[in-house]
Each structure stands twice: as C-alpha cells, then as structure tokens.
Structure 1
Amino acid sequence: MRSSRSSSSQVDRLRRRLSERDVSLLGALHRVRLLNLRQVQRLLVVDGSPAARTRRTQLWMARLTKLGVVVRFSRTIGGIRAGSSGYIYGLSGLGQSVLDVRGPAGGRRRRVWETKPYFQDHMLAVAELYVQTVEQHREGGADLLAFDAEPSAWRHFTGTGGELVLVKPDAYVRLGTSALERSAFIEVDMTTEGLPTIQKKNARYVDYWQSGVEQQRHGVFPKVVWLVQNERRQEHITDLVKKLATEVQALFVVGLLTVGAQLLSGRTSEKEANTA
C-alpha cells in the first residue's frame, strides 16, 4: 500500500512539472506509438527557422527522456550521420501512468514499444500519415475529427458460421471538409506482404461491409484506403481490387503514402489515386 501511494505521489509530482505541450506529445505517442524526431518537430515545434526548431526539439526530447516519460530507442533513422535528429521515441510506462491510460483493450500497460525494425518502420509510416493530417488541418485544410491507430481502429463482427471475426486496419481516420465528412480505414502497405494476403484482407473488409455492423453503429461505411510506397505496388493492389465483384470495388482506394492526407481530404481525387 505504501509503495502504491509513493508511486502515485511520484506521478502526481511529475504531472505538475509537465507543460501542456509536453502532455500533447505524450498523447500523440499514445495515439501512434512511435514518432521520430522530425515528426515531433513537425507536430509541435512549428515556429522559427528549421535549424532553431531542430535544436529546440532535440533539447525538449532530451528533457522528456531524462524525466522518464518517453523512451529513446537505440536505432536511428538515416544512419549514423543523422545523429540525434534521427532518434525514434516511444511512450514509457511512466508516461502512460502520467496520462492514466491502459494498454491495448484495457489490459496491462506496455512499458516500451521496442520492436523489430520492420514493425518500427510500419508504425512510423502510420505516424507519418497522422503528422500529414495534422499539418493539413493547421494549414486550413480538412479538419481532423478522429485518428485512431491500432488497436483502437480495429473492428469485429460475427461471421457466417457464428465466429468472431476481427478486421485490423492500421488506422481509422475521419476528416471534415466544409459540410462533408470523410472517413476511412487505412492500410499502410510496406511491400512486405504477398498479394494473396492482401486479397484476403480485401475480402474481409467486404464481409464486414456486408455485415452492416459499421453502418449500424456510425451510419456509413468508411472507404478502405491502401497507401503504398510506389506506383508499381499501387498498380498491383489496384488490379486486386478490380478482381472483386463490381458492386464492392468502390469501397477501395489505392494511393501513394506521400499524398495520403490529400487523398483522404479529397484534395487528390480517387481517380488520380487509382491511376498507376
């Protein structure tokens, strides 16, 4: 009991030392799990020259790392020459305590998101889409109404045999443009999964659409947006979509990750996105 009270007191004292911007960063890390230093800078250090912003971000993240609310990973993006500007950060167990959040599905808090490079790259690609949508919002583009990364974005429904079926998008995004809202399930493709696996994922989304569960809960079924790294991959996944029944092909859009935010907001048309 004494240990629990001591720990709670430590967290309370730490909360009082954190600024509103500090807490905003911890919230962003809780949302997308990983951010590199450049992404942190683009999200929350937006004033001044690029060099000054980088330096301020480096000092800021060093302070939060020393406080123990974030974890800096040993791996860097861009190799040795990138230096501290290439560091990757995650939310520590203490950082989760400060936010008073639980782990996935309300379970045990995860102390650190130290994973294999492939998974880190995938998380950072999802984080990049989040940063893009925040920048777009800041510049007067679409309003960012919701951005849920996995596992918060996951859905479930009952299959034809009565079994529980999970749909696991990388993110769920909802944007507001004038009087229109756009929502999407996001699949970020890192060119590591085989096309048969992607075909199975598409079929599961079709099954979920046919179940009507999402439409019942939210009134609309989001677009399923595949974001890929190059035009060759875009063409391959587009060909898979064309093999689906004609009435369900419109559920899917395939575009480049570099213009993901513009595609979601309608600034890049679906026709352009699906033209490889």
Structure 2
Amino acid sequence: MVRPRLLSSARVERLRSRLSPRDVAVLASLSRVRLLSLEQLRRLAVTDGSPRARTRRAQLMMTRLTKLGVVVRFARTIGGVRAGSSGYIYGLTGLGQAVISTGGPLGGRRRRVWETKPYFQDHMLAVSELYVQMVERHREGGVELLAFDAEPDSWRHFTGSGGELVQVKPDAYVRLGLSAMEYSTFIEVDLSSETLPTIQRKSQRYIDYWRSGMEQQWHGVFPKVLWLVKDEHRAERITGVVKKLAHDAQALFDVGLLAAGGRLLGGTTP
C-alpha cells in the first residue's frame, strides 16, 4: 500500500508539470503578498491585448488555478455587498505553497488560508497594490525593484533595553535601485483604524530599532519609514505624531497618501 505522503508528493509533482511559467509567477506573487484581486493579477500577469481581453484571460487563468486547487478564491465584500465575479480575490492554498516550494518536507507546517474579514482584505490588498505598482514601474524602466517583502518576511527583531526580544512589524520592506542609488523603505499602511497613541508606540519601536544598530549592521543602512494614509486629514494627524517624537529621529519618517505610494518610493514625487 502506498503511503499518503508519497501520494501527496506525486500529486505535487504532477501539478508542477501542468503549470506554465506564468502560472508559477502568479503563485509566487501570491506567496509574496498573500492576497491579490483579479484586477491586480491581470496587471501582473496579462499585459497584452485589449483591456476586456486581458480581463477575460485573467479570469480563465485564475479559474483554472482554482480548479487545480493551488489557489483559493474569495468574493470580496464592499459596503456589505458582494462585488461579483470581477471582485474576486485570491490567496495561495497549502497545496499551492507546496507546489512552488523549493525544499522542505511536504508534511511541514504551512500558513493558513488568509483572514477574509473586510478590514484585513482591504489592508492586504493595499499592500498588494503597492507591490503591483512597483512591478509596473520596474517594467517601465523607471526604477529597479530589488526587493519587496510583505509580512511576515518584512518583520525585524532586536534586543530591547531589558534584554527582551522585540519585534518591528512593517507591512512591507521595499528596496529600489534608481540611477546609482539604492533606496530602502519600511512601509506602514494606515487605514485610519488605529489610534494616534498606537501610531506613536509603533513609531517609537522603529526609533528603538534604529538606535539598536541591528538593521545597519545587517544591511548597511536604516530604511526610511513611510506611513501611507488614505487622506490629507489623516496625514496631518500622523505628521503631528511624528513632530512629537525625539528631534533626532523625526527624519526617519515620511507620511504620504496611499494613492501616491508607488510614486513616493525611490525619491520620486507624485
């Protein structure tokens, strides 16, 4: 009798053989940012033809990957109403993770299907949108996208003043090449759900991490911390928090609009 694990291994290998390079790229993008909308996947993976044709091809591609069991599909809820087929969002299944895994046991622990409450959807998709924008800028030749790590790959840790392990949890870490310069940024996506004292505590943790010197030791530079917000009112409030931080640390932080996030990175203005 064949053991179940050997069957799982065989299934994974069969699926790998059925995937095109574009399929693999889609799975890799989902592994990177956790959730992507159909429209975001279209922009990443289907770049030729009319807009209508691109959307249709993206739908067919994602339907096929869903039937193969490597992605899971959610109907996005907007204002309490299902958005319909055009509003589908996608995440990577455990099988999908196994298919694109380059090593490790098939029976190892894998990430659970992502939280699908509307707030978490919106937050993850905002990070995903920034990733898609940076890929588009890279293709256009405006910048070189050297790294884009979403959480948890973007997280850092250091030793606190009392010897405790402290974590810094940016929503993303982005490293860009522009001309002869490299720009590194920690991204904090703010959808106005957190109080200003929470923003202050998060900012102070970045300052503590900066003063620890660990990031500079590992990577040679401490990234700028960019708060991306929905509107000017929120930007003013977070800017007010930054101005109350230690004077020598205020330059670590920038605040900008989420809609302009892809243009703010790498020293580019909207």
Same fold (TM over 0.5): yes
TM range (shorter): over 0.9
Deviations 1:80-124 (A, max 9, x none): 684311101000111011012799xxx721241143211111111
Alpha-carbon distance between aligned partners in 1 of 2:256 and 2:59, rounded to the nearest angstrom: 33
Output aligned runs, 1:97-136, within 5 Å: 97-100=98-101, 108-136=109-137
Cα 1:125–1:46 change in 2 (3 A) is same
Kindly provide the amino acid, as one letter, of the partner of residue 235 in structure 2.
Answer: Q
Alpha-carbon distance between aligned partners in 2 of 1:102 and 1:249, rounded to the nearest angstrom: 42
Which stretch shows the higher mean deviation, 20-29 or 81-90? 81-90
Alpha-carbon distance between aligned partners in 1 of 2:78 and 2:12, rounded to the nearest angstrom: 31
**Alpha-carbon offset, residue 79 of structure 1:** 7.5
2:192 aligned with 1:191, yes or no?
Answer: yes
Contact kept? 2:42, 2:54, Cα under 8 Å: yes
Deviations 1:37-59 (A, max 9, x none): 00001111111111111111111
Secondary structure of the 1:227 match is: strand
Alpha-carbon distance between aligned partners in 1 of 2:119 and 2:23, rounded to the nearest angstrom: 28
Corresponding residue for residue 8 of structure 1: 9
Output aligned runs, 1:9-28, within 5 Å: 9-28=10-29
Corresponding residue for residue 254 of structure 1: 255
C-alpha RMSD of the superposition? 1.8
Deviations 1:59-92 (A, max 9, x none): 1111111111100013355886843111010001
Kindly provide the amino acid, as one letter, of the partner of residue 229 in structure 1.
Answer: K
Contact kept? 1:37, 1:58, Cα under 8 Å: yes
Output aligned runs, 1:1-276, within 5 Å: 2-76=3-77, 82-100=83-101, 108-268=109-269
Aligned residues: 266
Which stretch shows the higher mean deviation, 11-20 or 110-119? 110-119
Corresponding residue for residue 273 of structure 1: none
Cα 1:181–1:172 change in 2 (3 A) is same
Secondary structure of the 2:97 match is: helix
Cα 1:102–1:223 change in 2 (3 A) is farther
Contact kept? 1:142, 1:176, Cα under 8 Å: yes
Deviations 1:136-195 (A, max 9, x none): 111111110000000000000001111110000001000000100000010000100000
Give structure 2 stretches of 5+ with no counterpart: none
Secondary structure of the 1:118 match is: helix
Contact kept? 2:76, 2:83, Cα under 8 Å: no
Kindly provide the amino acid, as one letter, of the partner of residue 222 in structure 1.
Answer: P
Give structure 1 stretches of 5+ with no counterpart: 270-276
In the superposition, the TM-score normalised over structure 1's length comes to 0.92
Alpha-carbon distance between aligned partners in 2 of 1:78 and 1:35, rounded to the nearest angstrom: 19
Secondary structure of the 2:84 match is: helix
